[in-house]
Chain A
Amino acid sequence: MASAPRPERVPRLLAGCLPPYPPPPPTVGLLSMEQEETYLELYLDQCAAQDDLAPPRSPLFNPVVPYGMYILNASNPDTAFNSNPEVKETSGDFSSVDLSFLPDEVTQENKDQPVISSRHETEENSESQSLQSRLPSLSEQDIGLGLNSSSLSNSHSQLHPGDSDSVQPSPEKPNSDSLSLASITPMTPMTPVSECCGIVPQLQNIVSTVNLACKLDLKKIALHAKNAEYNPKRFAAVIMRIREPRTTALIFSSGKMVCTGAKSEEQSRLAARKYARVVQKLGFPARFLDFKIQNMVGSCDVRFPIRLEGLVLTHQQFSSYEPELFPGLIYRMVKPRIVLLIFVSGKVVLTGAKERSEIYEAFENIYPILKGFKKA
């Protein structure tokens, strides 16, 4: 019944450039396609073993392109090689690379399967080309690629200023100079270490939603799926749970689903995919549209007691503290828009974030304030 340990995915290209934070959950680095597929098989088989159901054969989940690579192609080609961790103008997804490497659908029902597969194939080809071309000299081509998103499939021609395809031919040269500077002086990474303390808030809960894009028969799901509850008199959704990642999902008849309880963005996505797979195996044409993280909760400990009364006096426009109602001070930070629960013990809960960086930023902001209200 206990799940077999997932194979450790050492992100080879990241090895030696690990960020100074608690390591993210075992995630995929930039493995080769064959390795990705092997891991996919292992992962799916383990899931199937857990679920006691046949392994999936749906085209929806065919790993035409490993998800991580697909995302790379679509958005930030210059961040393909995280061996240069300083150059991190990435979206939140790259703080730890995605474990669910299954292709995602980003548009509505109009997108047909063949369209998606062909798109994946072309991107797969250009990606593998550009991957090989990029391997030898990272730093130059890294930035060069970042400037010329259109010339993904060109290898060394990108750096020629006279290249008509290039979006910005002129800044290439000076940028390669500034790039060498950039590689020496690290830019602020996505998740900066607090300069005053080594305390990093830990994520405790992620709430996300996804649209399965088909009407669901909740009774059928409740009767056939394992670990499901359905009490329509009380709540109009099926409550399903899975062991790994340990999460709970609320599945509605409209096809929309809420996934809660995961400890990281990737786990939340992976869990949502597993639920979608369960629904799919029951015979519904489930898809995976518009996955979005709605809320992230983090917590940490500043390790000193705090004078909440003092804090509410000086920051009254942000704080509310009613010890008779609730023992914690509720601090509503404006930028980023995060709510913090601050307790006398020094424990802090941060919530309301859509991105991990907002949690970190909010804690960065509050820590000096809290230090000012340390109990003598």
Chain B
Amino acid sequence: MAYQLYRNTTLGNSLQESLDELIQGSLNTYRFCDNVWTFVLNDVEFREVTELIKVDKVKIVACDGKNTGSNTTE
């Protein structure tokens, strides 16, 4: 509850965190509806120890991870 109130006030003086990410370059758009986050990123590098995958566009759909959470990347 306290978190909710705090969130409401910071909206007015928001840090524009999402936009900072936009400026820094990768995040194209974001969306949050029905507890589902959807992100579209550009020019992304997926780095694993052995492999490096570069991609122009990534769509990330993320749901809450309470019991059954799923992350899908197209």
Question: Most chain-A CB neighbours within 10 Å: which of B11, B12, B28, B33?
Answer: B33
CB pair A228 B32 closer than 8 Å: yes
Is A261 an interface residue, CB under 8 A from the partner?
Answer: yes
Is B14 an interface residue, CB under 8 A from the partner?
Answer: yes
Give Cα distance in the complex from A20 to B12, angstroms. Answer: 31
The contact string, 1 if C-beta is below 8 Å from chain B, for chain A 248-281, is 1010000000101100000000000000000000
CB pair A229 B32 closer than 8 Å: yes
Chain B contact residues, majority secondary structure: mixed
| Chain A, Cβ-Cβ closest to B8 | A235
Stretch at the interface among A59-67, A185-193, A219-227, A313-321: A219-227
The contact string, 1 if C-beta is below 8 Å from chain B, for chain A 225-237, is 0111111001100
- Say which size band chain A's interface belongs to: 20 to 34
| Chain A, Cβ-Cβ closest to B40 | A226
Is B73 an interface residue, CB under 8 A from the partner?
Answer: no
Given A227-B30, A234-B4, verify A243-B19 contact (CB < 8 Å): yes
CB pair B31 A246 closer than 8 Å: no
Q: List chain B residues, Cβ under 8 A from A115.
A: none
Is A207 an interface residue, CB under 8 A from the partner?
Answer: yes
CB pair B31 A226 closer than 8 Å: yes
Q: List chain A residues, Cβ under 8 A from B4.
A: 234-235
Across the interface, B33 reaches (CB within 8 A) one of A1, A223, A227, namely: A223
Contacts of B1-57 to chain A: CB distance below 8 A: 4, 7-8, 11-14, 16, 18-19, 22-23, 25, 28-35, 42
Is A370 an interface residue, CB under 8 A from the partner?
Answer: no
Nearest-CB distance from B14 to chain A (Å)? 5
Nearest-CB distance from A82 to chain B (Å)? 33
Q: List chain B residues, Cβ under 8 A from A223.
A: 31, 33
Is A239 an interface residue, CB under 8 A from the partner?
Answer: yes
| Chain B, Cβ-Cβ closest to A1 | B28
Across the interface, A246 reaches (CB within 8 A) one of B12, B16, B25, B33, namely: B16
CB pair A248 B22 closer than 8 Å: no
Residues in chain A within 8 A of chain B (CB atoms): 1, 205, 207, 219, 222-223, 226-231, 234-235, 239, 241, 243, 246, 248, 250, 258, 260-261
Q: A226-B31, A261-B14, A261-B16 are in contact. List 17 more A-B contacts (CB 8 A).
A: A1-B28, A219-B34, A222-B32, A227-B29, A227-B30, A230-B32, A231-B35, A234-B7, A235-B7, A241-B16, A243-B19, A243-B22, A246-B16, A246-B19, A248-B16, A260-B12, A260-B14
